[in-house]
Amino acid sequence: MIYLVAGLLITFACYVLFLVSDKQRPKTQKSRWAKCAEHYQICRYLAFGVLAATLILLIQFTGRGVGSVSLFVFATPIIFILILSINDLKPKKTAQSK
Residue 61 and residue 74 in contact, taking contact as beta carbons nearer than 8 Å: no
The confidence score (pLDDT) of residue 97 equals: 60
Instruction: Output the pLDDT for position 98.
Output: 58
Residues of the chain with pLDDT under 50: none
Query: What's the CA gap between 58 and 84, in Å, rounded?
Result: 26
| Domains of the chain by residue range | 2-86
pTM for this prediction: 0.78
Question: CA-CA distance, 92 to 86, in Å (whole number)?
Answer: 18
Provide the phi-psi class of 10: left if phi over 0, else alpha when psi is between -120 and 50, else beta: alpha
